[in-house]
Amino acid sequence: MKLTVCTLVLLCFLSGGIVPAQVVKPLVTPAPQATKATTEGTGPASTPDAGIAANYVIGPDDSLQVTVWKEPSLSGTFPVRPDGMISLVLLGDLMAAGRTPMQLGEDISTRLKKYIQDPNVTVLVAAVNSHRIFLVGEVQKVGPLPLSAGMTPLQAIAAAGGLTAFANAKHIYILRGAQGKQIKIPFNYKSALKGDVQGIALQSGDTIVVP
């Protein structure tokens, strides 16, 4: 008896010799998803934290880092002159003092639109020289000290080398305000060493007196 091909296939299937193709599902490895790392570097660099408060007001003698994305010839570090101006390529002299870094960056970006399409400008304060405090009395280093954002009296004293052996740590105070209208703010050095900041945030022009 001759068997047709269809009959042979049916007999093999019934005997378990052939597994229907649809039963075997091929293993498919999903394509790996793009990671965050693969997308890095496709846009302007994010603004690093320079430790300067966003509302910091630029002053004379400060040093500014101006970055124009994809324009290295226009970027660099620029000192603020005593007249409050900085000098930039293409733009010439530009007033920086009295502005925040963000305000200055927006102004530079607006002015550069005459020369560059969609300029992306970042301004950072590289060095704070216009905002100072003063230390007098029994500290290792008497004189002016650059004021960094959020600096406490304890940090200022540490930056001045600490107290001398003759310092009266219980009677330290801070003078604040214009001459003749100064207020006296007591500062407990020993409490500060234990972590008590006493709610005192130094301001430009403050004088720490260590008797």
For the ranges 30-44, 102-116, 141-155, the lowest mean pLDDT is seen at 30-44
Query: Which domains, and CATH codes, for the chain?
Result: 63-127 (3.30.1950.10), 132-210 (3.10.560.10)
Predicted pLDDT at 196: 79
Q: Taking a C-beta distance cutoff of 8 angstroms, is the pair 100, 125 a contact?
A: no
Q: Taking a C-beta distance cutoff of 8 angstroms, is the pair 189, 164 a contact?
A: no
* Dist. CA 56–CA 187, nearest whole Å: 25
Predicted pLDDT at 102: 94
Bridge partners (DSSP) listed for residue 67 = 122
User: How many residues are given for the chain?
Assistant: 211
Backbone angles phi, psi at 100, to 5 degrees: -85, 160
pLDDT in tens, 75-116: 999 999 999 999 999 999 999 999 999 999 999 999 999 999
In this prediction, residues 195-208 reach a mean pLDDT of 85
pLDDT band at 147 (very low <50, low <70, confident <90, very high): confident
**Nearest-5° angle of CA 17, CA 20, CA 21?**
125
Model pTM above 0.75? no
